[in-house]
C-alpha cells in the first residue's frame, strides 16, 4: 500500500513540473488502475431507479420488490416518493403474490438526504411500504424506522403505523 501512495505522489509531483517520462507514466497507470479498482469495490449510493431491489417492511405478504418506474423525477425516487414495482418474493398466504405489479412508497434509502437543519439522514438498506392507487398502505404494520420526511409527502398513515420515526 505504501508503494501505491508513493507512486501517486510521484505522478503528482512530476505533473506539477510538466515533465513526464515513460517510467513516470507507467507508474501512474499502475496506481490509476489500483485507484479505479478500489473505487469500484466501494458501494455507490444512488437514487432508487429502474431494476433496484427493495425490501418490503410491512405485513402485506411481499418480501422483496423490484422497481419498474419512479413516478416522480427523471433520475429516480428518493425518500417518500412513490414507485411502481414488481413483487419478486412473497410469503404464502399474503395479500400480494409473486409477479404482481404494485405501488410502493420508499421509506428507507441508502442515498443521503439533507434536512433543513443541516443534518443528513441515510439508511443502510432500501426499503418500501406497499400502497394502493389512493396511497393507503396495504399492510397493517410497518417494521423498522421511518423518516419524518414522509409527513411532508402526505404519507401520514404510514407514519402512524410505524414502530419508530427517525
Identify the domain containing residue 128 by its residue range: 52-165
**Structural domain contains residue 22:** no
Specify the pLDDT at position 38.
47
**Structural domain contains residue 7:** no
Query: Residue 48 above 60 pLDDT?
Result: yes
- CATH number of the domain where residue 157 is located: 2.40.150.20
Residue 162, C-beta contacts closer than 8 angstroms, at least 6 positions apart? 107, 142, 144, 145, 146
**Structural domain contains residue 131:** yes
CB atoms within 10 A of CB 54: 25
Q: What is the pTM of this model?
A: 0.71
Report which DSSP code applies to 44: P
Specify the pLDDT at position 166.
83
**Structural domain contains residue 21:** no
Contact 150, 158 (CB under 8 A): yes
125 closest CA partner among 40, 65, 39, 62: 65
Give the cell for residue 15. 505533473
Give the cell for residue 24. 513516470
Q: What is the pLDDT of residues 73-112, one digit of tens each?
A: 778 898 989 999 999 999 999 999 999 999 999 999 998 8
Cα distance between residue 155 and residue 147, in whole Å: 11
The count of structural domains within the chain is 1
**Structural domain contains residue 19:** no
Specify the pLDDT at position 49.
87
Report which DSSP code applies to 80: T
If DSSP codes are grouped into helix, strand and coil, which group holds residue 162? strand
**Structural domain contains residue 121:** yes
Question: What does residue 157 show for φ and ψ, rounded to 5 degrees?
Answer: -65, -40
Give the cell for residue 143. 417494521
Amino acid at each position: 500500500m505504501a508503494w501505491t501512495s508513493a507512486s501517486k505522489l510521484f505522478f503528482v509531483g512530476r505533473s506539477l513540473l510538466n515533465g513526464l517520462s515513460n517510467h513516470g507514466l507507467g507508474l501512474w497507470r499502475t496506481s490509476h488502475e489500483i485507484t479505479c479498482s478500489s473505487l469500484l469495490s466501494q458501494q455507490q449510493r444512488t437514487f432508487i431507479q429502474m431494476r433496484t431491489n427493495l425490501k418490503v417492511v410491512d405485513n402485506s405478504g411481499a418480501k422483496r420488490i423490484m422497481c419498474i418506474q419512479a413516478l416522480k423525477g427523471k433520475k429516480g425516487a428518493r425518500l417518500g416518493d412513490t414507485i411502481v414495482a414488481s413483487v419478486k418474493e412473497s410469503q404464502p398466504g399474503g395479500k400480494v403474490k409473486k409477479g404482481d405489479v404494485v405501488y410502493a412508497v420508499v421509506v428507507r434509502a441508502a442515498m443521503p438526504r439533507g434536512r433543513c437543519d443541516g443534518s443528513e439522514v441515510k439508511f443502510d438498506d432500501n426499503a418500501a411500504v406497499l400502497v394502493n392507487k389512493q396511497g393507503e398502505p396495504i399492510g397493517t404494520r410497518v417494521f423498522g424506522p421511518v423518516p419524518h420526511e414522509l409527513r411532508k409527502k402526505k404519507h401520514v398513515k404510514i407514519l402512524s403505523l410505524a414502530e419508530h420515526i427517525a
